Amino acid sequence: MFGTKRKKEDTFGQNDDDWNIYKEISKDAGNSDSEAEQEQLDELEMILREHDPEFVDPNQQEAMTFDIAEYYKLYIGIERIRVPELMLQPSMVGVEQAGLTDTIDFILHKFTVDEQRRLVQNVFLTGGCSSIPCLKERMETDLRAIRPFQSTFAVQVATDPVLGAWLGARQMTRSDQFAACCIRRADYEEMGGEYIKEHFASNRYARTPVLVAPTT
């Protein structure tokens, strides 16, 4: 039809020579990271140091002031109640691990119903963390939530939670059975420092019990 202009087909890029235009543009514009510009920057920095001996490159200054201790510091919060709560809810600080109550519940489910009933009658808290105020009451509340309705349990706290383990070890060293609990030099040289001799007060290996489904 008269007066109608035909649209020109875009064929740019089909010929490899078309891409040479970008090389020309890059050549004229230059590269900010070129060696020539870096040499100029080094020369200017040298002149600055002659007039100002205390001149420091801002990029280097930022690296020098990096505090690795501050970088790895864990900010828990301003509420004091959040600190002991981490034992029960480690997820508060991004730790994907079970809390104290979840661990007790997991262990109890490895035993039969009758064994669970006997185990919860002597939940014993010891160590420095057991001195936290109201920890005993909190454990009772959590146990009441995970145990069957109207079931009984008992939570006890050590008389001296901080020194209890040390006092018990001291009492053991004064007993006649202490010599039988020690390892000989030959045992140490043969088995290494990680060897633990089994005795009446040591941690013995116990196979995890298989969960028995209750019969109906």
Give the model's pLDDT for residue 120. 93
Query: Residue range 40-66: average pLDDT?
Result: 70
Q: What is the CATH number of the domain that holds 109?
A: 3.30.420
Q: Outline where the chain has alpha helix (H).
A: 20-29, 35-51, 58-64, 68-71, 82-85, 100-108, 113-119, 135-146, 164-173, 178-181, 185-191
Q: Indicate the length of the chain as a whole number.
A: 216
Indicate whether 92 belongs to any domain: no
Classify residue 120 by its DSSP letter.
Answer: G
CB-based contact 74:93 (threshold 8 Å):
yes
Is residue 169 situated within a structural domain? yes
Positive/negative CA dihedral, 75, 79, 85, 91 = negative
Supply the Cα-derived Rg of the chain in whole angstroms: 36
Instruction: Summarize pLDDT for 77-113 with one digit per residue, the tens.
Output: 666 777 788 888 888 777 788 889 999 999 899 889 9
User: Backbone dihedral region of 68: left (phi > 0), alpha (psi from -120 to 50 degrees) or beta?
Assistant: alpha
Indicate whether 212 belongs to any domain: no
The predicted-structure confidence for 146-187, as pLDDT tens digits, reads as follows 999 989 999 999 888 899 888 888 988 898 888 888 888 998
Predicted pLDDT of residue 136: 92
pLDDT for the residue numbered 123: 92
End-to-end CA distance of the chain: 92
Q: Is residue 14 part of a domain?
A: no
* pLDDT reported for residue 4: 55
User: Looking at the predicted structure, is the pLDDT value of residue 216 above 90?
Assistant: no
Q: What is the pTM of this model?
A: 0.49
- Cβ neighbors of 182 (< 8 A, separation 6 or more) are 197
Instruction: Quote the pLDDT of residue 118.
Output: 93
Establish if 216 belongs to a structural domain: no
Indicate if the pLDDT at residue 199 is higher than 70: yes
Percent of the chain with pLDDT over 90: 18
Domain count of the chain? 1
**Is the pLDDT reported for residue 144 higher than 90?**
yes
Is residue 14 scored above 60 in pLDDT? Answer: yes
Q: Which domain holds residue 121?
A: 101-191
Locate tokens 């809810």: which residue? 89
25, pLDDT greater than 70: no
Domain annotation covers residue 33: no
Sign of CA dihedral 193, 197, 203, 204: positive
Q: Which residue has the higher pLDDT, 165 or 115?
A: 115
* Mean pLDDT computed over every residue of the chain: 78
pLDDT value for 198: 82
- CA angle, 124 as apex, 122 and 127 as ends, to 5°? 175
Of 46-55, 59-68, 202-211, which one has max mean pLDDT?
Answer: 46-55
What mean pLDDT do residues 7-30 have? 62
Q: Is residue 19 part of a domain?
A: no
Does residue 95 lie in a domain region?
A: no
Structure tokens at 27: 């050549």
> Residue 85's pLDDT is what?
83
